[in-house]
């Protein structure tokens, strides 16, 4: 490898770029790759202290000296040969994309296990640089690493870095440039010795593959030979031999494998892993000194409380409760300010524009629709703030640890818990995060139940309804809805796991990373990222939806029958008369016709046609439910700028409100989520199941609540 990628000359910012190089950032999960990637590229993206946050491969470009460096942040990998879905992405990048250089990010304090991957990369003979990350922690923990000596032993530059402070980044780039400069100098790579017997067989296979008649192999033959002896299935396709020769080599390798197994009474794969660790400990013996400090590490002490036998689960529960209380309680103040601002704007526009369609469009369509959703921005920010603190600090892994027993009993996996919590933010990234689950069965199951975890887009609906109908208990009602969602997810998970999947076994081998203080930078970035997505949605789908809905509600106009439809809107008109008229206008318009069409299906749930239409529009995005209500109800009642008053006046009872919130919680995932499920599952069947079961569940639950409540005299 390390081939010349063609001399491209280009002018960037006045500097001559005479070389493009591709650099991959590899490393164990949780080694700080993404933080370092951000520091290197200056771009920012999601960083989390949970093994497996990088679910997609991200690329950034750096200009350094006369190099244009294409840097790729790979998903965390413990090994090239054992495979989870994410590890496969990293492996395929390294094997098929042939990067010029790989920077392996190593979690400094945890160097021994991290160097296992290094041994595999060494055998791939890609030019390597070791970024000894979290070097500050290394020192704090009383560890001494002789980097120069280590560099000599491993045959690669070793550069101490502190990703979160950007330390060592410059030296890393210098090393990249230096290495790229001599990519053609053949350098004798460091060799891991597997002992006499193994080495003999490796040579034997190499000789077979390097027969002069064959094409030059695309991969180092020693690496191929080792892979064959290990019995890795992805090797044979990469052997660039004719079918006949390949079969010959494979047969030979099988023979060798059996021979070695009988000889050592151990699977060659295990043997080779042991030898690699042997090499690592040999290298560390001379370069690594750890003077254990008095007492326990901070992480250990925190975990004594957070994963305590008695307190562990209550603390988890309390943290979740706190998150939702904060979301509602703290969020309520800025929400109030934004509401006031929107009310003012609405009044201003009303007074500027003359009565007519333009004014209606602006006040009812635009401000009524988008305004009713944008007020929830603070709530959503707080929710994401909480989730990112949980992720960055390392608590998520503990949550998986604490809940695995329950999840396992329900046919799920402890690791499913993390995508599920992410689902409180947004189902789409949560569904993508299921890639961290190793078995397809667990992935599908988790994907199917994630939409039951109430996402932030549903929050506006709850806040609106709970705040309106249960002003004193809104926080608890909302928390209850979240719990109900979790409850449904677990029941459905259990049900589906026994209905559709036979009991596959997937292990719970999970690293518990050290707690790390989330950096303000990363948190701010998380939130900014969310705000951007939210505002984009406002400007896009919600704006269009609101305007469309307004149009459908405003046209066609009813025939002029009552004499004077042009009542001036100066606030002196009798409210009920005005409301009645608007209402009949709506019913006559397209929206009313549509509403009548779906009314029979929602009537048993106690919903009127406007609620039905709002829910229908929510398929596009759940926030649209509220913006639709903003349009539909404000059209009916001009006098109240606040949607809340309009809802109370429209005769919705608290019982109906509960049924409506539950329905919104459970019914079909939004369009983006359906898309994500389809992409990730690759199956129409599961995607369809997801839509159908959730809609049926929602209808059933709302029906039971409404009709049951009526029987009990609550309605």
Partner 1 sequence: MNLSSNEVGDALSKGQGVPLSDLDEGECGVVIRFSTASKLRIRLREMGFTPETMIEVIRSAPLADPIEYSLKGYFISLRREEAKEIIVRRIDGKRKRRRFRFGWRGRNK
Query: Which residues contact partner 1 (rule: CB under 8 A)?
Result: 78-79, 81-82, 109-113, 116, 267, 269-270, 273-274, 277-278, 290, 296, 299-301, 303-305, 307-313, 401-402, 404-406, 408, 414, 505, 507-514
3-state secondary structure 667-687: CCCCHHHHHHHHHHHCCHHHH
Q: Are 114 and 107 in contact (CB under 8 A)?
A: yes
Q: What's the min distance (Å) between Cβ of 401 and partner 1? A: 5
CB-wise, 414 or 709, nearer to partner 1?
Answer: 414
CB-wise, 113 or 240, nearer to partner 1?
Answer: 113
Q: Which residue do the tokens 């990222």 mark?
A: 529
CB-wise, 80 or 387, nearer to partner 1?
Answer: 80
Buried b (16+ CB within 10 A) or exposed e, 550-584: bbbbbeeeeeeeeeeeeeeeeeeeeeeebbebbbe
φ and ψ of 281, to 5 deg: -70, -30
Q: Which helix (H) or strand (E) holds 144?
A: strand 143-145
DSSP three-state, residue 652: coil
CB-wise, 43 or 299, nearer to partner 1?
Answer: 299
In 3D space, the residue among 27, 38, 28, 30 whose CA is nearest the CA of residue 165 turns out to be 38
C-alpha to C-alpha distance for 326 and 386, rounded to whole angstroms = 9
CB-wise, 39 or 438, nearer to partner 1?
Answer: 438
CB-wise, 65 or 137, nearer to partner 1?
Answer: 137
Cα-trace Rg, the chain: 31
CB-wise, 125 or 511, nearer to partner 1?
Answer: 511
Q: What's the min distance (Å) between Cβ of 50 and partner 1? A: 14
DSSP three-state, residue 665: helix
CB-wise, 299 or 583, nearer to partner 1?
Answer: 299
Q: Tokens standing for 291?
A: 């003077």
Buried b (16+ CB within 10 A) or exposed e, 381-403: bbbbbbbbbbbbbbbbbbbbbbb
CB-wise, 141 or 252, nearer to partner 1?
Answer: 141
DSSP three-state, residue 176: helix
Q: What's the min distance (Å) between Cβ of 424 and partner 1? A: 22
Q: What's the min distance (Å) between Cβ of 514 and partner 1? A: 8
Q: Which helix (H) or strand (E) holds 600?
A: helix 590-602
Q: Which helix (H) or strand (E) holds 516?
A: none
In 3D space, the residue among 86, 149, 151, 148 whose CA is nearest the CA of residue 122 turns out to be 151
Q: Which is it for strands 101-107 and 143-145: parallel, antiparallel or unpaired?
A: unpaired
Q: What's the min distance (Å) between Cβ of 295 and partner 1? A: 8
Q: What's the min distance (Å) between Cβ of 465 and partner 1? A: 35
CB-wise, 52 or 460, nearer to partner 1?
Answer: 52
Q: What's the min distance (Å) between Cβ of 244 and partner 1? A: 31
Q: What's the min distance (Å) between Cβ of 89 and partner 1? A: 18
Q: Return all residues near 381 (Cβ < 8 A) that are at least 6 apart.
A: 331, 527, 530, 531
Cis peptide before 497 (omega within 30 of 0): no
Q: What's the min distance (Å) between Cβ of 280 and partner 1? A: 9
Angle (deg, nearest 10), helices 377-393 and 395-409: 90
Q: What's the min distance (Å) between Cβ of 1 and partner 1? A: 23
Q: What's the min distance (Å) between Cβ of 139 and partner 1? A: 15
CB-wise, 512 or 671, nearer to partner 1?
Answer: 512
Angle (deg, nearest 10), helices 312-329 and 474-499: 130
CB-wise, 81 or 668, nearer to partner 1?
Answer: 81
CB-wise, 275 or 653, nearer to partner 1?
Answer: 275
CB-wise, 79 or 236, nearer to partner 1?
Answer: 79
- The DSSP-derived string for 541-568 is IIHHHHHHHHHHHH-SPPP--SS-----
CB-wise, 307 or 393, nearer to partner 1?
Answer: 307
Q: What's the min distance (Å) between Cβ of 331 and partner 1? A: 31
Q: Are 663 and 702 in contact (CB under 8 A)?
A: yes
> What ranges in 294-416 are assigned the alpha helix state H?
298-306, 312-329, 332-352, 357-360, 368-374, 377-393, 395-409
Q: What's the min distance (Å) between Cβ of 508 and partner 1? A: 5
Q: What's the min distance (Å) between Cβ of 82 and partner 1? A: 5
C-alpha to C-alpha distance for 109 and 289, rounded to whole angstroms = 11
Q: What's the min distance (Å) between Cβ of 406 and partner 1? A: 7
Q: What's the min distance (Å) between Cβ of 111 and partner 1? A: 8
DSSP three-state, residue 6: coil
Tally of CB atoms within 10 A around 588: 16
In this structure, the chain runs to a length of 715
Q: Are 430 and 422 in contact (CB under 8 A)?
A: yes
CB-wise, 166 or 231, nearer to partner 1?
Answer: 231
């Amino acid at each position: 490898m390390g081939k010349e990628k063609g001399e491209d000359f280009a002018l960037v910012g006045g500097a001559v770029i005479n070389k493009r190089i591709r650099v991959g950032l590899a490393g164990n999960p949780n080694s700080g790759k993404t933080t370092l990637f951000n520091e290197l590229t200056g771009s920012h993206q999601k960083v989390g202290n949970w093994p497996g946050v990088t679910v997609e491969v991200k690329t950034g470009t750096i200009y350094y000296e006369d190099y244009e460096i294409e840097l790729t942040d790979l998903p965390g990998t413990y090994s090239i040969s054992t495979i989870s879905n994410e590890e496969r992405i990293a492996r395929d990048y390294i094997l098929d994309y042939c990067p010029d250089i790989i920077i392996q990010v190593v979690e400094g304090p945890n160097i021994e296990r991290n160097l296992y991957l290094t041994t595999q990369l060494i055998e791939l003979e890609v030019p390597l640089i070791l970024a000894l990350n979290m070097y500050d922690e290394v020192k704090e923990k009383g560890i001494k690493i002789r980097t120069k000596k280590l560099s000599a032993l491993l045959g690669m530059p070793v550069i101490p870095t502190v990703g979160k402070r950007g330390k060592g980044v410059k030296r890393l780039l210098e090393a990249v440039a230096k290495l790229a400069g001599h990519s053609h100098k053949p350098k004798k790579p460091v060799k891991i010795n597997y002992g006499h017997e193994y080495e003999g067989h490796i040579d034997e296979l190499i000789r077979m593959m390097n027969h002069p008649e064959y094409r030059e192999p695309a991969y180092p033959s020693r690496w191929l030979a080792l892979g064959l002896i290990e019995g890795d299935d992805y090797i044979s396709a990469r052997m660039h031999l004719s079918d006949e020769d390949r079969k010959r080599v494979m047969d030979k390798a099988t023979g060798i494998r059996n021979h070695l197994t009988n000889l050592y009474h151990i699977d060659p794969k295990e043997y080779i892993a042991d030898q690699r660790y042997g090499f690592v400990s040999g290298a560390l013996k001379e370069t690594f000194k750890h003077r254990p400090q008095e007492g326990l590490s901070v992480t250990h002490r925190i975990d004594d409380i957070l994963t305590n036998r008695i307190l562990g689960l209550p603390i988890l529960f309390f943290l979740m409760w706190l998150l939702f209380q904060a979301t509602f309680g703290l969020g309520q103040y800025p929400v109030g300010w934004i509401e006031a601002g929107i009310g003012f704007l609405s009044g201003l526009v009303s007074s500027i524009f003359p009565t007519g369609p333009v004014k209606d469009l602006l006040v009812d369509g635009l401000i009524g629709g988008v305004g009713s959703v944008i007020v929830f921005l603070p709530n959503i920010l707080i929710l994401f703030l909480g989730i990112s603190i949980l992720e960055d600090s390392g608590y998520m892994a503990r949550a998986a640890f604490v809940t695995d027993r329950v999840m396992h009993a329900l046919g799920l996996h402890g690791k499913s818990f993390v995508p599920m919590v992410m689902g409180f933010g947004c189902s789409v990234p949560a569904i993508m995060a299921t890639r961290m689950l190793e078995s397809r069965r667990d992935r599908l199951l988790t994907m199917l139940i994630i939409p039951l975890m109430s996402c932030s887009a549903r929050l506006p609906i709850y806040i609106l309804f709970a705040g309106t109908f249960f002003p004193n208990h809104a926080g608890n009602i909302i928390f209850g809805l979240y719990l109900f969602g979790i409850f449904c997810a677990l029941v459905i998970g259990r049900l589906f796991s026994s209905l559709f999947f036979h009991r596959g076994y997937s292990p719970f081998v999970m690293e518990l990373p050290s707690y790390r203080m989330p950096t303000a930078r990363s948190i701010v970035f998380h939130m900014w990222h969310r705000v951007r997505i939210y505002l984009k949605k406002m400007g896009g789908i919600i704006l269009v939806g609101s305007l469309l809905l307004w149009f459908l509600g405003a046209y066609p106009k009813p025939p002029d029958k009552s004499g004077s439809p042009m009542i001036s809107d100066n606030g002196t008109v009798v409210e009920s008369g005005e409301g009645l008229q608007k209402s009949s206008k709506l019913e006559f318009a397209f929206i009313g016709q549509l509403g009548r069409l779906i009314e029979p299906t929602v009537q048993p749930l106690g919903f009127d046609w406007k609620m039905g239409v709002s829910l229908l529009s929510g398929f596009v995005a759940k926030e649209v439910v509220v913006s639709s209500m903003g349009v539909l109800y404000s059209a009916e009642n001009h006098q109240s700028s606040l949607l809340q008053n309009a809802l109370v006046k429209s005769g919705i009872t608290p019982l109906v409100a509960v049924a409506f919130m539950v329905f919104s919680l459970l019914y079909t995932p939004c369009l983006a989520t359906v898309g994500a499920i389809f992409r990730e599952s690759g199956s129409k069947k599961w995607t369809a199941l997801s839509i159908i079961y959730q809609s049926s569940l929602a209808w059933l639950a709302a029906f039971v609540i409404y009709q049951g409540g009526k029987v009990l005299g609550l309605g």
